[in-house]
Amino acid sequence: MQKTPAQGRPRGASSLAPRPLIAGVSLGVAVIVAMSLGVAVIAAVSLGVAVVSGALGLAGVSGLPPGVAVMTRAATPVAHAQSGSPESSPQPVPQAAADSPPLGERDIARVHVVATIGQGTVFATTRSEVLENPMIRKVVWLEGPRDPAPLLVLAGEATALPGLGGAVLGMCAGERREVQIPPEEAFGPRDSALVRSLRRAQHVPREMTMGPREFCERFDRFPTVGDEFPLDDFIRAAIVRVTAQETELRLAPREPLQRETRLGLTEIRATDTEIIIVVTPRLGAAWHDREGRAGRVVAVGETAFRVDFNHPLAGKTITFDIEVLARVAPESLAGMPYPWRDDHDAALQDARRQGRPVFLLLCATWCSWTEELLVRTLEEPQIKIFRDRFVWVQIESDLYPEYRDRYRQTGSPMIVLIDRHGEIVYQKQGFREAPAVRAALLDCLRIE
């Protein structure tokens, strides 16, 4: 894109970005101890192809609940598939730094974690050596950043891995611990009622009528005869009549009429009276209903398919192998500016390659609420701990209206969260306080 004369600076160096504060940083000492393992994997967990996506919210964890078991022995890292005795040899445990106090509520810790189910099947990890080792058993749907790194965890608070925030309470820098989280404190019990049958064909009338208020609330715009806009990914709408009582729309299919989507093959057909959208979903494909609940396709028939909205780990006890590398002073985060980018398309492509979600901020140079979001909300430690887990993109959409149109922005600022698959999972306009933004970031990072 060409820069406008009004800018006078590269778009990546936005004047809206807050100035970093200079603070003394004391991150402590990360104690790394080489561990010699001789554990053989003697059990296998078969999850099947039709695993389902995370549909349950991550509940806040305050301390270790009664059902959580803390192992007093050395935390045994994920078993290596080597021949030998199934008995593990004694493992050294990194000792906590003598001057490091235990982590309390809302303290920040930098941690390594390996999360497993069953006999050591990995479903999440921050350790690259675990992710890259083909001899370590993993769930078939394990995804994550291509370059995993330690997490910043707010002790006692909700995390994308349920129970991790509570599990680090009382730990010290340099300490390693194995913690078991029961199903009810993890991803919840399994519920057969959450397996739903859905029709493969959706029939949409070509004529649609609604009141002006309903139109404005649904489409976030005023109705004007002649306006055309996308109704969704498959249908476009044209406003053909507007009165004080109603707005009339004429619908038409959007090209191409046959396309591959994340769900599967989708075909669009049209008659004089209706548009028919027929999907042939793939087993295991992700599905989101209108309420935002996520599931996965578990069966496909001639006229219908079934989606399981249970989390793939519902009903399972999970085990964390946690190592606290350091205690992080909140003021140290203030000296770490966000790595904002302004090259929208390239940034989104890089995010897909890296397996990371995107935090997109559409803002205006004149908007005081944008500055408030940047200097207050995003500088909160509870938000700053996500700095290295997202690709951060800031677009001054008052200067580049194509992005305002693309995301149907009518107010500033607008936050758009795009998951690692490239799907928009959150889109809100206006100023947001830190707790609301944190909840949206956690939801975007949840295990699916």
Start and end residues for every CATH 3.10.50.40 domain found in the chain: 69-191+312-328
pLDDT at 23: 34
Q: Which tens digits make up the pLDDT trace of 44-57?
A: 333 332 333 333 22
Average pLDDT, the chain: 80
Start and end residues for every CATH 3.40.30.10 domain found in the chain: 330-445
Is residue 81 over pLDDT 60?
no
- Residue bearing tokens 């979001």: 373
Q: Which tens digits make up the pLDDT trace of 389-425?
A: 999 999 999 999 999 999 989 899 999 999 988 889 8
374 class by beta-carbon count within 10 Å (0-12 exposed, 13-18 middle, 19+ buried): buried
CATH of region 69-191+312-328, choose from 3.40.50.300, 3.30.870.10, 3.90.550.10, 3.10.50.40: 3.10.50.40
| CA-closest candidate to residue 169, choices 186, 177, 146 | 177
Is residue 37 over pLDDT 90?
no
Specify the DSSP class assigned to residue 374: I
Q: What is the Cα–Cα distance from 211 to 244, expressed in whole angstroms?
A: 8
Q: Which residues contact 58 (CB under 8 A, 6 or more apart)?
A: 158, 159, 160, 162, 442, 443, 446
pLDDT at 77: 43
Reading the block at residue 254, the tokens are: 């959007």
The CA angle 159-319-353, to the nearest 5 degrees, is: 55
pTM of the model: 0.64
Amino acid at 355: G
* Mean pLDDT for the stretch of residues 12-31: 36
Is residue 196 over pLDDT 80?
yes
Query: What CATH number should be reported for the domain whose range is 330-445?
Result: 3.40.30.10
